[in-house]
Structure 1
């Protein structure tokens, strides 16, 4: 016979109500009891009747995660955190990616309706506020990720890009670097990511008494990839512009930049110190290992799921808001530090 809530309650020494609260993610359960219930669920291999549960609540048990791309490991790590957090609450995740274009983002939203999913976690780069008011999904709970907030009454999970870029630039300045080039600068400044990280960079220079130098800003295409980073280094060297440090707006561009520096006979960090952004797993294993800004990607994913389920489970009482998760600067060999 299948394991019941009563079986789990007896094994854990708690009430059936407590078991139900743990299964449904109720936060008002003492941690000691929660751990006993979780252990009993594992020992008894409890399998909830998900179709019946969702049918009773008028739900389908599926969340949608819409991200700009799959090739960038940053989004893959965010997706993994979302999927893990959703699974803990017995939800599955439907994944879609948009290449960061307006057309694809709008198509992704248009095809999502409440008969298919219970809510959306959306990392948009291009959508406008009115794009989310599509007939059929007006009432779908939505949590936004990233820098693009849309200025709407939705939960938004992000981190302080300005402060993070400021910390990265200040780190290079404290090493005595004064000619700090930027890779990832956009002439149009259309993406919030570019604007916010550039703002932090510029503020750090200003606070150090240094002025911006146009010749140290390398304009890159919209793709924040390794090839863009490599090409940016070649562009800098062709300008014959002296520089002693690189601040790359993501790790992928930093990896490409370090490869290009190697090919041109320059050493990291002796000749050029390099800082990236995202703290991808590859940053630990590159040669040299990469100093980088490390947003708490696990917390981003977990918080997004938590906020979305709060909205799903209590739309009348849930108050949307912005959650800013922490970051840290992880110092490694590319700026002269031995990894811990």
Structure 2
């Protein structure tokens, strides 16, 4: 492996001159700079990032922790984060915790040992587990869609309650009155906020929320599938069956589409389904899924921007950036059959 002294010998300069050229730490003559860069190219010299980080106390690397890379939401989010960080000159270390708090802590330690300049956490873990993780963090940090008690971290989120409210209000405007909610795990702040949006929309429409129509699941398509099968089977023969479903994310809504099809219910003729997040996949399932959300890539881009701002301005006041979701109406929602004439 070539060294800085090899470059210096080939360029006919001192190794300190090579260092000044590569690190831009002191003016060097144009001729010397040209010879150094030519030598670097000829022998394929790569400067040590580790040595540079020790000198400058920076690595130009940020760590990104997500709970499930199989979920398209997190794939789109990371794409936005990576794009923003790359344009700012940062590389991204991606860690997938697979919804395991212990694995999150292990990755946190690894990232800190690698001397990352910042940390971005998008996690479905409970507050206590996240609080333990942030006790380890000594670098600028940003959370996505989570408020971690006691953590000194900026937050970038979507207005979850407003998005759920918009989704349910859409179903109400079509004439639905029996509207179920497929929720994420109750211990998650995101789940609670989206249930509250469901309740608020019903109350403002003069309807008492039926808590028996709230079915807890796990934000996955299999989970949504099982939750809707359970719900619809329990509704069999009911005088006022459910005609609309609000699923707390698109993955569960996609599972709901499958469950409805297997139970012989046509969507949207007999059952309307609306999701949350507006992942790219929601446009290509059949029927195409109505959903609320903002551009997930934009959410990631904004989270990356806030993290870089925090790295560059560590003493600035903490930020709480909230994006406003929009309703996108596609093929999975329509007026209930009894309202069509």
TM-score range, shorter chain: 0.7 to 0.9
Cα displacement (A) at 1:58: 2.5
2:192 to 192, 195, 198: 195
| Cα distance change of structure 1 residues 55 and 109 upon mapping to structure 2, 3 Å threshold | closer
Q: Judge conservation of contact 1:182–1:247 (CA < 8 Å) in 2.
A: yes
Partners of 1:57 and 1:303 lie apart in 2 by 27
Distance between the aligned counterparts of 2:150 and 2:162, measured in 1?
Answer: 21
Distance 1:299 1:172 in 2: 27
Cα displacement (A) at 1:295: 2.3
Question: Offset at 1:219?
Answer: 2.8
Alignment of 1:55-204 (within 5 A): 57-113=56-112, 115-124=114-123, 125-126=125-126, 127-134=129-136, 137=137, 139-184=138-183, 186=185, 189-204=186-201
Distance 1:330 1:50 in 2: 49
Please provide the CA RMSD for this pair. 2.2
2:31 maps to what in 1? none
Q: Give the equivalent residue in structure 1 for 2:211.
A: 214
Moved more, 287-296 or 71-80: 287-296
* 1:226 alignment partner in structure 2: 221
**Number of residue-to-residue matches in the alignment:** 282
TM-score by length of 2: 0.77
Q: TM-score, normalised by structure 1?
A: 0.77
> Distance between the aligned counterparts of 1:76 and 1:59, measured in 2?
27
Moved more, 207-216 or 74-83: 207-216
Structure 1 residues 226 and 120: CA distance shift in structure 2, 3 A = same
Any residues of structure 2 matched to 1:271-282 within 5 Å, and which? 271-282=270-281
CA distance in 1, matches of 2:214, 2:184: 6
1:76 deviates by: 0.3
Q: Distance in 2 between matches of 1:315 and 1:100?
A: 29
CA separation in 2, counterparts of 1:193 and 1:231?
21
CA deviations over 1:90-119 (Å, ceiling 9, x no partner) = 211000011223222222222222643111
2:235 matched to 1:237?
Answer: no
SS in 2 for 1:333: coil
Corresponding residue for 1:321? Answer: 319
Post-superposition offset of 1:271? 0.6
Deviations 1:135-177 (A, max 9, x none): xx4x311111123433433111111101111110111000000
Give the conservation status (yes or no) of the 8 Å contact 2:179–2:244: yes
**Higher Cα Rg, which structure:** 2
Displacement, 1:133? 2.1
Q: Which moved more, 1:259-268 or 1:123-132?
A: 123-132
CA distance in 1, matches of 2:324, 2:295: 6
Larger RCO (CA within 8 A; separation ≥ 6) = 2
Can you list the C-alpha shifts for 1:48-76, whole angstroms capped at 9, x where unaligned? Answer: x9959867642111110001111100000
Q: State how far apart, in whole Å, the 1-side matches of 2:69 and 2:92 are.
A: 15
CA contact 2:184–2:219 (8 Å) conserved in 1: no
Secondary structure of residue in 2 paired with 1:177? coil
> Which residue does 1:311 correspond to in 2?
310
Of 157-166 and 119-128, deviating more is: 119-128
SS in 1 for 2:183: strand
**SS of aligned partner of 2:291:** strand
Stretches of structure 2 that go unaligned for 5 or more consecutive residues are 1-23, 25-46, 336-341
